[in-house]
Amino acid sequence: MACVLAGEYWLIKNTVGIEISEHPYYVGRVILIVTNGLLLLGLLWPTIWIVERYARSDFAKIGIVATVALGTFLTTYAVTINNHLLAATSVAIALYCGLRVWCDGRGDARYLIGAGFFAACAAVNDLPAFSFFALLGLAMMIKRPMPTLLLGVPAAAVILGASLVTNYVAHQSWRPPYAHRSDGEVLGTLEEKLHGAFDRNEIPEPLTQVLADHGIELSDQAEVITRDSGNRWVILDSGIDRRYAIQRTENSIEVRDWDNWYDYDTSYWKTGVKKGVDVGEKSIGRYAFHVVLGHHGILSLTPVWLLSILGIGLWLSEKGAFRQVAVFVLVLTLVCVLFYIFRPLKDRNYGGMTSGFRWAFWLIPMWLTAMIPVLDRWKNWAWGQRIFAALLLFSACLMKFPHFSSWATGIGFVLCICLFLSGCGASDTPSPPAASIPGPEANADGQSTQTVSTELEAGDLAKSDFRGEEFPEVVLTTTLGKIRLKLDAKKAPATVDNFLTNYVATNHYDGTVFHYVQPDGMILGGLFDADMSPRPTKIEIQNEAMNGLKNKRGTIAMSRDPNVVHSSTCQFFVNCADNTTFDHIGSEDSSSFGYCVFGEVIEGMDVVDAISKVDVQSNDGFVNLPKEPVQILSAERVK
């Protein structure tokens, strides 16, 4: 698709003389209108051909054409350049060609070439549509084997070959960028004990030896970047423009070639940076519900597809070619939807912050076709026509809600938020919200100023503010009163040392605010100034949630990234209720490892409750943010 858009720009530049660098909006809108206008026509015409050929009533013909024009999210996505509209248009054309071959027994070259060419076009522009390409190809081989080999396969090869070549020219790789989401081959292994050196941003000698064995010599510009303290690091060598992944395993540390194109310094997709739905839905059951019936639901946002389900059932009850067409549509729908439901956590994000479940949009031409038997049967049933009109009206209204941009929150998501805020369907207490924070501070030499090891050594006590006391106390003076904390350094030594040495002793907390408050929940703070600017933090520390302390009312605990076990820095929260869902339950999984309790409130719990009940707002991505800032004026160690 990128090549097609580049070709359009070449024509604009060389015929009209307008360059995108000088008139980006003008050029962009011209390309948008031309591209998506033609694609919408390309979607509409094969739909008309299908209903004219296979629908028996005018009601079915008019109803399905009205649906494709007014009632699907492909129209919503026509306001932006995207691959889904192109894929759906390609599926519509290939589907028509395939139906003529399968249902009518036609062997015309145009149908075989069209099926192969446009099925391949759908596949290379929307990777899940490879299932459509494969299954349609199998059907063509069964029905017309020799013509398919002579006409359909070469037509598909044109698109597949062009896709591979252009991908290689752009990325110097035969694999698409989506395939570069993990580490490369293992170059060697190191002893597990060396993880401490990497946490101190040091390059140990065994690492240089492993790389030397592969003919790689690091320059003096090589540096260690921590991705997950104690577990994952990156060796970045600007001198030779190379990087390597260092990954801790159960018994060793692997040195891997770099192949994760989504893991770079300014990447939004790094753990701890991405937010909202992009973090991923932990519960597969909840994810499945929202994909089908919830805020990104295929049926809840486009209820007219209920008729497609009914149509598939009607065709399955018949004999002949259309029973096989129903199986074809049903299999592809289940394969696509189940594939995404059972993806890893990082991929269970509904397609990002979008108005609908975009990964299934390429199926729309097949769902439209499956409506034919229902509308044909309802042609003389007044109530059936009213039901169809109501479903189409709701679908059109829901599709129209995000009319300015398809890459926006859909009405389903808005309704779910409203239900949540009103208390409907409330379940477990949510995880403490994790804010994106800057990396560790560095001194002039580029070395970390971290003073607390992730595994506290006895020698560290001499250079810390810990002073070896088992129950030090700290007073937080806030704009609503004082809170006295008693810390448990016996059960959470590294956490208490980090809290006292890196943040209390350096006056880090002075002037910060509580940026998330929830009655009968928690108050969370320690990172942001009153203007919501984040303060620099030290390196992440080891999570000591397994220390036996529970998240009971009045306890203080460290916040962290919900997806990374060992990611706490400065943010802390005070529990305003017994939050048992935050407790450690014995698993190494981030969702059940828990949040480390390291002390309790011994005076000022009334102040904590008052803070939790202030008026809140949602602003710039923050939820439950106090309307009037509640500041920590000072954090002082008093014992």
Q: Is residue 32 part of a domain?
A: yes
194 and 241 part of one domain: yes
pLDDT score for 113: 97
Question: Residue 605 — left, alpha, or beta (φ > 0 → left; ψ -120 to 50 → alpha)?
Answer: alpha
493 and 558 part of one domain: yes
**Structure tokens that stand for 560 in this block:** 């962290």
Q: What are phi and psi of 511, to 5 degrees?
A: 95, -5
194 and 97 part of one domain: no
CB 128 within 8 A of CB 339: yes
Q: Is residue 291 part of a domain?
A: no
Q: What element of type H or E holds 198?
A: helix 195-199
Quote the CA–CA distance of 612 and 624 in Å, as a whole number.
10
pLDDT score for 268: 66
Q: What element of type H or E holds 196?
A: helix 195-199
**Structure tokens that stand for 230 in this block:** 């104690």
Q: Which of 421, 436, 469 is the last residue of a domain?
A: 421
533 and 610 part of one domain: yes
**Structure tokens that stand for 347 in this block:** 């991929």
pLDDT score for 477: 96
In the chain, the N- to C-terminal Cα span, in Å, equals: 66
pLDDT score for 89: 96
Quote the CA–CA distance of 491 and 198 in Å, as a whole number.
26
pLDDT < 70 stretches in the chain? 265-276, 353, 401-468, 586-589
Which 3 state secondary structure label does DSSP give 62? helix
- Which residues is 522 bridged to in the sheet? 518, 575
142 and 211 part of one domain: no
CB 431 within 8 A of CB 275: no
Quote the CA–CA distance of 56 and 548 in Å, as a whole number.
71
Number of domains observed in the structure of the chain: 3
**Structure tokens that stand for 489 in this block:** 């350094």
Q: Is residue 105 part of a domain?
A: yes
Quote the CA–CA distance of 256 and 249 in Å, as a whole number.
12
Strand pairing report for 616-619 and 572-575: unpaired
94 exposure class (CB count in 10 Å sphere: 0-12, 13-18, 19+): buried
164 and 234 part of one domain: no
Quote the CA–CA distance of 30 and 216 in Å, as a whole number.
49
169 and 26 part of one domain: yes
pLDDT score for 41: 94
Which 3 state secondary structure label does DSSP give 68? helix
**Structure tokens that stand for 274 in this block:** 């991405």
Q: Is residue 39 part of a domain?
A: yes
pLDDT score for 574: 96
Q: Is residue 587 part of a domain?
A: yes
473 and 614 part of one domain: yes
Within 10 Å of residue 72's Cβ, how many Cβ atoms?
25
CB 375 within 8 A of CB 60: yes
Task: Tell me the longest C-alpha to C-alpha distance in the chain.
Answer: 89
Quote the CA–CA distance of 342 and 332 in Å, as a whole number.
16
Q: Is residue 470 part of a domain?
A: yes
244 and 353 part of one domain: no
Quote the CA–CA distance of 503 and 490 in Å, as a whole number.
19
479 and 605 part of one domain: yes
How far, rounded to the nearest angstrom, does the alpha carbon of residue 167 sit from its chain's CA centroid?
24
User: Residue 544: which CATH number?
Assistant: 2.40.100.10
Q: Is residue 289 part of a domain?
A: no
pLDDT score for 100: 96
CA distances from 127 to 83, 88, 345, 347, 609 (A): 10, 12, 19, 14, 51
Q: Find where tokens 């510009």 sit.
A: 221
27 and 145 part of one domain: yes
pLDDT score for 294: 86
Alpha-helical regions (H) of 256-320: 284-292, 298-301, 306-316
Q: Is residue 350 part of a domain?
A: yes
pLDDT score for 272: 60
CB 454 within 8 A of CB 541: yes
CA distances from 301 to 296, 341, 455 (A): 7, 18, 50
464 and 369 part of one domain: no
Q: Which of 369, 392, 421 is the last residue of a domain?
A: 421
Q: Which domain holds residue 236?
A: 186-257
Quote the CA–CA distance of 258 and 264 in Å, as a whole number.
11
pLDDT score for 434: 57
